[in-house]
Amino acid sequence: MTEHLPALQVVVPLIAAPLCALLRPGRAVWLLAMATCALCLLIAALLLDQVLARGVISYAMGGWPAPWGIEYRVDVANAYMLLVVATIGAVVMAFARTVVEQRIRLPASKQPWFYTTYLLCLTGLLGMIVTGDAFNVFVFLEISSLSSYVLISIGRDRRALTAAYQYLIMGTIGATFILIGIGFLYVMTGTLNMADLTARLPAVADTRTVRAAFAFLTIGISLKLALFPLHLWLPNAYAYAPSAVTAFLAATATKVAIYVLLRFFFTIFGAQFSFGTMRLDVILLPLALAGIFSASVVAIFQTNVKRMLAYSSVAQIGYMILGISLVSVTGLTAAISHLFNHALMKGTLFMALGCVSFRIGAVSLDRLAGVGRIMPWTMGAFVIGGLSLIGVPLTAGFVSKWYLILGALERGWWPVALLVLLTSLLAVVYIWRVVETAYFQPAPEGRATGEAPLALLAPTWTLALANLYFGLDTSLNAGVARRAAEALLGVGP
């Protein structure tokens, strides 16, 4: 069965999703979804193991060989991404049961549909990563996007509906632009297979159509990954979605869009065309810096902590784009490493907030007063996630910041390195506001609440401890990330 792993990675959650919808509401639905997520994680781990040992895996869908059929192609870069998404998918699914049962605007009879939608979203995200076919990327993008709009809209706050609608409009524009870009490439080359596109594009690269395709893809993907100033859909969507959904989407959806960006610009167009001819770095670098700076500042002034973290996500995406715009192995390592580290830290932070809102019912800053003493474990996880977000040594966040600064210095851009350090201080400010309120302000009278249930704490702490573990053992989030960066740039072994 091992030769079918690339297909199974997508097929397993795809089959489990309709099965969840058929089951009666109850514990069994969650068990099936949880088992599916665990199986996805196992498959992703096996795939990464195979790729590291034996190199690129190619799988021909339906037995039609590439470039005619749809090829699933797994190299170090997407095996690494599969592991990130599958890990978060499994951890958040463990967290989701309690949230779905008690904190979502869905009657019990409709709760199985949450798991169906979640698994479909996971299918789409995994599919975008695993496929080696440009059009297939679009199809899976739509699967994941449509299901994520639904997931966001079931938040308890009625504003979740408008947030989801806003995201739907922006996301659809993004997806349409991506489709137009892919269509132009197909017109010029007659192929949709990524490897085949790489081979055929240089011959037609100097045409207006290909340049237009490049532009459409840049804007479309930037919308999906919420690059400043196209990030306006993100804060509301993250703030009003149910906490489990926010944790899942914040840690995966934008990351997968960044992976798509890497795949298109480094593998399909090639770094030479994207950054040598089209000078994409000249656009990305200022946008990344502006995004990091402005989103961090805006985050400081938020009163809703979930919204604050959402703005922080925009800033963190800026760091990844900054790493990409350095166009060096070190810079790309920083970006790819941050994909993983940011998933860990934001997963921890949003799940810790989920624990808080489970007990207190809100996550506005003034309601958090004194929570540090009432819910020591929850806030402990939040602090670890916060430290990792700031980039304190011995946490995962430090690893990517280190490579980012190293990459900037390599290029001799010391002002950029300085700005990265400076904006880390902004992160200190907004995390500190939460810590100060939670630990140093007295809890209001008459609030009888205790620690969050273990079913919520266990997944939260799993990710919190992972933040610490991957701060010390960097063989995966720096070692494998470096190999992925080398594979994307086409250098090294």
Partner 1 sequence: MKQYSILRLITKLLLPLILLFALYVQFHGDFGPGGGFQAGVIFAAGFVLYALVYGLDNARRLMPTWLPRLGISLGVLIYAGVGVAGMLLGGAFLDYGVLDPHDPVHGQHLGILLVELGVGITVASVMISIFHAFAGRGR
∠ CA 245-248-252, nearest 5°, is 140
Candidate segments 10-18, 295-303, 373-381, 404-412, binder of partner 1 by CB under 8 A: 10-18
Q: What is the dihedral of CA 37, 146, 18, 72, to 10 degrees?
A: -60
Smallest distance from partner 1 to CB 24, Å? 12
- Tell which one of 2, 4, 187, 421 touches partner 1 (CB under 8 A): 4
Residue 57: strand pairing partners = 74
Q: Which stretch binds partner 1 (CB under 8 A): 17-25, 250-258, 314-322, 414-422?
A: 17-25
Candidate segments 1-9, 280-288, 348-356, 429-437, binder of partner 1 by CB under 8 A: 1-9
Taking the least distance from each CB to partner 1, the nearer of 13 and 235 is 13
Closest to partner 1 by CB, 61 vs 428, is 61
Q: Which one of the spans 13-21, 156-164, 254-262, 401-409 is the region binding partner 1 (CB under 8 A)?
A: 13-21
CA neighbor of 252 nearest in space, from 40, 422, 438: 40
Stretch that binds partner 1, among 4-12, 137-145, 262-270, 450-458 (CB under 8 A): 4-12
The residues, ordered by sequence, that sit 6+ positions from 282 with a Cβ below 8 Å of its Cβ are: none
Smaller CB distance to partner 1: residue 64 or 440?
64
User: Binding string to partner 1 for residues 56 to 85, with x set by CB under 8 A, is what?
Assistant: ---xxxxx----------------------
Chain residues 19-58 in contact with partner 1, contact rule CB under 8 A: 19, 21-22
The only residue of 17, 43, 141, 179 in contact with partner 1, by rule CB under 8 A: 17
Closest CA to 177 of 212, 210, 146, 227: 212
The stretch near partner 1 (CB under 8 A) out of 15-23, 86-94, 225-233, 283-291 is 15-23
Smaller CB separation from partner 1, 58 or 162: 58
Find out whether 219 and 212 touch, Cβ atoms under 8 Å. Answer: no
Q: Is 7 in the site for partner 1 (CB under 8 A)?
A: yes
Q: Which residues inside 93-122 make contact with partner 1, applying CB under 8 A?
A: none
> Min. distance of Cβ 10 from partner 1 in angstroms?
9
Long-range contacts of 397-401 (CB under 8 A, 24+ apart): 397/341, 397/342, 397/345, 397/467, 397/471, 398/471, 399/337, 399/341, 399/470, 399/471, 399/474, 399/477, 399/478, 400/319, 400/323, 400/334, 400/335, 400/337, 400/338, 400/341, 400/342, 400/477, 401/319, 401/334
Dump the DSSP string for 394-444: TSHHHHHHHHHHHHHHHTT-HHHHHHHHHHHHHHHHHHHHHHHHHHHSPPP
Placement of tokens 């996550």 in the chain:
363
Q: How many residues bind partner 1 (CB under 8 A)?
A: 16
Contact between 14 and partner 1 by CB under 8 A: the answer reads: yes
Q: Which of 15, 28, 199, 203 binds partner 1 (CB under 8 A)?
A: 15
* Closest distance of CB 62 from partner 1, Å: 4
- By beta-carbon proximity to partner 1, the closer residue of 46 and 52 is 46
Contacting range for partner 1; rule: CB under 8 A; set: 7-15, 147-155, 392-400, 439-447: 7-15
User: Which one, 59 or 259, has the nearer CB to partner 1?
Assistant: 59
Least separation in angstroms between residue 133's CB and partner 1 is: 13
Nearest to 221 by CA among 263, 186, 268: 263
Measured CA to CA, the distance from residue 126 to residue 131 in angstroms comes to 9
Q: Concatenated DSSP letters for 436-485?
A: HHHHHSPPPTT----PPPHHHHHHHHHHHHHHHHHHH--IIIIIIHHHHH
Nearer to partner 1, 57 or 251 (CB): 57
Could you list the residues that contact partner 1 (CB under 8 A)? 4, 7-8, 11, 14-15, 17-19, 21-22, 59-63
